[in-house]
Structure 1
Amino acid sequence: MTAPPGLDPVALAAYLGTSPLSAELIPGGRSNLTYRVTDGTRRWVLRRPPLGHVLATAHDMAREHRVIAALADTDVPVPAVELLCEDPSVIGAPFYLMEEVPGVALRHRDQCPWLTPPQAAALSRRLVDVLADLHAVDPDAVGLGDFGRPDGFLRRQVVRWGKQLDASRGRDLPGIDELRDRLAATVPASRRASVVHGDYRLDNVLVTPDPVDIAAVLDWEMATLGDPLADLGLLHVYWTGVGAEDDPITGTVSALPGFASADDLVQRYAERSGADVSGLGWYTAFGCFKLAVILEGIHFRFTTGKTVGAGFEQLGRLTLPLVRQGLAATARER
């Protein structure tokens, strides 16, 4: 098997002291790279940063490894982590290994012929319930009390993603600076703090059928301590997408019969967590801004040949629709 870009199976096998390994890139990820690795008997999943243009504070393998390990004995389903390697000389970047968990990340409706409307409804509820379970975790109790700084979290987030935008800006993006300024001028006061995933959505969980369930939550690279409504606002954006018939944000999965509406998800979360969601408009606007910046960074890496995988050529066209949605959300909030 030809070695996939970004991973040398021979070097990895030598580091692990195992028999020869084969590896393949798992498609669908939009930031960190994920590979399936096997020695013919055992199977693992390996995560490493993208091939280039790694922004400061992003793609931190040690943080991602730490939060998954900390959540192992909670109600939040996560894979078992095997090891963390922070030495970039092994495969060219830090990485960690975790167990391969059965299940599928539902990225497009073509993956869902088996999904009945009752199963879709159950999956909608389960997706929200897992998020509420995450936000109910006591950070101190699982060793994550120093994982972030909840005070001033939202203001720092606006600043941080503004800096990420400036570092990835390769073209004119009308309206995006206005959206950033509006968000910065109207930062709400956080009511509580929790572990936040930072990129929680349907295709960042592994789904198993019969009965439908979530086997694992993946992609913890942006996890920290902060305002849990930031996760909910971003989930709302991921669930609704930009309204296109071939919407690559939702994969049109959430439009299938039986799936809850975005507003129903919010209501379920409020009932499950007891949170006040009356000011969610700011958080959805921020979710639009954050996702626009993420996709623009991916677009930048794609146009400069610094990422691998299929589908990246589509993502750059989504930045401006997200900016327009974010501006509309801030206008409604005001």
Structure 2
Amino acid sequence: MSPDHPPGLDLDRLRGLLDRERPGLVKGPLSGRLIEGGRSNLTYAVADGTSRWVVRRPPLGHVLATAHDMKREHRVISALYPTAVPVPEPVLLCEDEEVLGSPFYVMEFVDGTPYRTADQLAPLGPERTRGAVLNLVDTLVELHAVDPGEVGLADFGRPEGFLDRQLRRWGKQLDASRNRDLDGIDELHAALGRELPRSPAPAVVHGDYRLDNVLIGEDDSIRAILDWEMSTLGDPLTDLGLLVMYSMPLGMPDSPVSTTAEAPGHPAPSELIERYAARSGRDVSAVSWYTAFAWFKLAVILEGIHYRYTLGQTVGRGFDRIGDLVPVFVRHGLTTLHEGLQEG
């Protein structure tokens, strides 16, 4: 296929649908390109020469509909769009698989930059980097301040027993990809289970909140939060724990998985925690547990990638080094949990 007709995006059928559902929206012939960088769902930029939109659909040949629920993603951004939380404006949801071969949704295209590595942040300079990361915290506070019932998301998840279910779920994920001994990972899982904190009032949880899942504007503001596929109602401190984890240096130069923590000007984890606490009013005394849980979750994800690599099921570069990262994440998780318990 040509670059203007990427796989999984039939522009003629898309145009027909938009003309029927949103007459007058599209002014000229559509072109489209795949936006690289997504972990699972496919994201395309579509333009008519005047306006631009984004199309989100599941991967080609997807099997588990629940893992790539377009209706769910569309629902959460539609609910949040009228609030202070920056999300793209939803255009339409299409559940008819005849159009593109799977359900999909269309939203506005938002200008901004996703920063994935410390090297990408470096040109901003220390002051702007600091401002962007602090804005990331403030935007998370805005998200967690939304009353789910007021925006029609009261039934968006099952907050009761959320942390226990999460821990069991990731334990099962680990068991499904075990093919080697991993020192400390069972110890970390068990310790997390023993020290399960009491969750605060439930909130809309993004599930993968970090710098490269938002678009930063030229004024360093958060223009839009993207990638809502893991969103639910649950414990808001899981989002904070993940953000803190990604703000801690890995201590591994040339790692195939990077955090932005080494960027000059990046605020320390303690400052992010204090800012979230001050602006949200939430008790963050158990944040070490949530951060250790984030290390555990990422260790399980990376072990799954390593497992698929050993079976010859991965394509691309860098997969041969993923396995070496897993023990590093486990050690960070144990250290974070142990130090947090000592402080407590």
Q: TM class by shorter-chain length?
A: 0.7 to 0.9
Give SS of 2:247's match. helix
1:47 aligns with 2:56: yes
The equivalent residue for 1:235 is 243
The question of whether the paired residues in 1 share the 8 Å contact of 2:121 and 2:129 is answered with no
**1:215-251 Cα deviation digits (max 9, x unpaired):** 0011111111111111111111112252222345445
Runs of 5+ consecutive residues of structure 1 not aligned to the other structure: none
Q: 1:297 to 1:271 in 2, by over 3 A?
A: same
The equivalent residue for 1:94 is 103
Give SS of 1:290's match. helix
What is the identity, as a one-letter code, of the residue corresponding to 1:330? L
Map 1:159-308; keep pairs closer than 5 Å.
Answer: 159-167=168-176, 169=177, 171-172=179-180, 174=182, 175-209=184-218, 211-251=219-259, 253-298=260-305
Give SS of 2:124's match. coil
- Of 4, 10, 14, the match for 1:12: 14
Map 1:59-70; keep pairs closer than 5 Å.
Answer: 59-70=68-79
**1:227-277 Cα deviation digits (max 9, x unpaired):** 1111111111112252222345445x3322222011111111111111111
**1:120-150 Cα deviation digits (max 9, x unpaired):** 2211221110001111111111111111121
The equivalent residue for 1:152 is 161
C-alpha displacement at 1:280, in angstroms?
A: 1.2
Percent identity of the aligned residues? 57
CA distance in 2, matches of 1:171, 1:51: 28
C-alpha displacement at 1:176, in angstroms?
A: 3.2
Superposition TM-score, scaled by structure 2 size: 0.85
CA distance in 2, matches of 1:314, 1:79: 36
Q: 1:269 to 1:58 in 2, by over 3 A?
A: same
**1:135-168 Cα deviation digits (max 9, x unpaired):** 111111111111112111111111222233344x
The equivalent residue for 1:121 is 130
Larger mean CA deviation between 113-122 and 255-264 belongs to 113-122
CA distance in 1, matches of 2:72, 2:256: 28
Q: 1:249 to 1:132 in 2, by over 3 A?
A: farther
The equivalent residue for 2:23 is none
**RMSD (Å), alpha carbons:** 2.8
Runs of 5+ consecutive residues of structure 2 not aligned to the other structure: 20-25
Q: 1:83 to 1:311 in 2, by over 3 A?
A: farther
- Of 305, 319, 325, the match for 2:332: 325
What is the identity, as a one-letter code, of the residue corresponding to 1:112? L
The question of whether the paired residues in 2 share the 8 Å contact of 1:27 and 1:310 is answered with no
